[in-house]
Amino acid sequence: MDLGTYYTEYISSYALPFTRIGGVLMVMPLIGTQLVGKSVRIILAMLITFAIAPQIPITTATEPGTLLWVVLAAKELLIGVAMGLVVQMLFQALVVGGQTIAMQAGLGFAQLVDPVNGVSVAAISQLYLLMANIFFFSTNGHLAVFQVMAESFHQLPVGFSAWDKVSLINQSMFKTVTWLFASGLLIALPVVISLLMVNLTFGVISKMAPQFNVFSFGFAFTVVVGILVVGVSLPRILPTFEVLTEQALILMRGFYG
């Protein structure tokens, strides 16, 4: 092997894994947002690449910059983005649950600007997101994501040998979207059921006492009950989020069978 071929394989063995790792960090919650600079993400991706690249199997050695290498890099980027989106959907499940609660409790008008994503979300969703971010990074959830990402290099090796498994990504993404809305409804279910009972009670009262103005009193009462139920159910959010995190890691592993 001449010196040029050696350096070509050496650069390719680091550049292609760097593309997959960069794809994960690009869409990962908090790390992939505008709060973290691009240079910080690039440095973090380089550090992770240098740490795990010596143990990564490379099935196809190609010269960087060629058309063949660009195709492989695009495949690695697709895998990384898909894995990062699973973690992103884990946090978006809290947003879906919070928005559902806000609409049922009459708190949909209470919108706050999410500094992470740069969009307006319900105040309840913002509260859930703050709790989830603190819990996720304080319990080393990001390290668990990096571990699953490192395992993917052995099940989906860098090169053309993994093309037959890329179709699993499409199937897993459909399952992930379904899981996103199901998880959001699971988070909102206790509060929604409680508010449904309140609305049924007001319906019975309006039938028994037609002179009672339900609309003037019911809205304020629904808002108060919604806030109280959210406060009571708040301690159950983090245990539920822990279960959803485990399911998200399983979904990430589903990409490579």
Rounded Cα–Cα distance for residues 54 and 172 (Å): 29
Per-residue pLDDT, 2: 52
Mean pLDDT for the stretch of residues 94-117: 76
Asked if 16 and 76 touch (Cβ cutoff 8 Å), the reply is yes
Q: Tens digits of per-residue pLDDT, 63-93?
A: 666 777 788 888 888 888 888 888 989 998 9
What pLDDT shows up at residue 6? 52
Tell which wins on pLDDT, 17 or 215.
17
Report helix, strand and coil shares of the chain as percent, to nearest 5: 80, 5, 20
Classify the C-alpha dihedral 87-89-95-96 as positive or negative. Answer: negative
Closest CA to 30 of 132, 149, 104: 132
Question: Of 133 and 219, which is predicted with more confidence?
Answer: 133
The rounded distance, in Å, linking the Cα atoms of 72 and 8 is 15
Nearest-10 Cα torsion for 30, 114, 96, 23? -30
**What are the boundaries of each domain within the chain?**
3-256
Helix (H, G, I), strand (E, B) or coil at 111: strand
Give residue-wise pLDDT tens across range 214-255.
Answer: 667 777 778 888 888 888 888 888 899 999 999 888 888 876
